[in-house]
Amino acid sequence: MNEEIRIHVKRELGQNSILRDQNILVDSEEDALVLQGDVDSHYKKWLAQNIALDTKGVMKVRNEIYIAREDFYEN
């Protein structure tokens, strides 16, 4: 995976208003982008993966993000 793609995905995640304060690391392997870290909802895990997949040049994402806590009763 190209280093420029990894940097671009990291920047996109950091600029997203929902994900900017989350602890998400972006790494690359030969054939996949790897997302690691922790978020507080399934939605944020899914959103990070979709942002990565929507990036030109990304064909495969391994989403290893841990969901630390999810509030089902948010107002």
User: Would the pLDDT of 1 be above 90?
Assistant: no
Distance CA 7, CA 67 (A): 23
Residue 74 in any domain: the answer is no
Distance CA 33, CA 73 (A): 33
CATH code of the domain in which 39 resides: 3.30.1340.30
Residue 47 in any domain: the answer is yes
Provide the pLDDT for residue 31. Answer: 87
Residue 73 in any domain: the answer is no
User: Would the pLDDT of 70 be above 80?
Assistant: no
Residue 72 in any domain: the answer is no
- The chain-wide mean pLDDT, for the chain, equals 91
Residue range 43-64: mean pLDDT, rounded: 96
Question: Based on the structure, what is the number of domains in the chain?
Answer: 1
* 62 contacts 35 by C-beta, under 8 angstroms: yes
Residue range 4-21: mean pLDDT, rounded: 95
Percent of the chain with pLDDT over 90: 81
Residue 59 in any domain: the answer is yes
Domain that holds residue 9: 3-67
Residue 30 in any domain: the answer is yes
Provide the pLDDT for residue 73. Answer: 55
Provide the pLDDT for residue 71. Answer: 59
Distance CA 9, CA 70 (A): 24
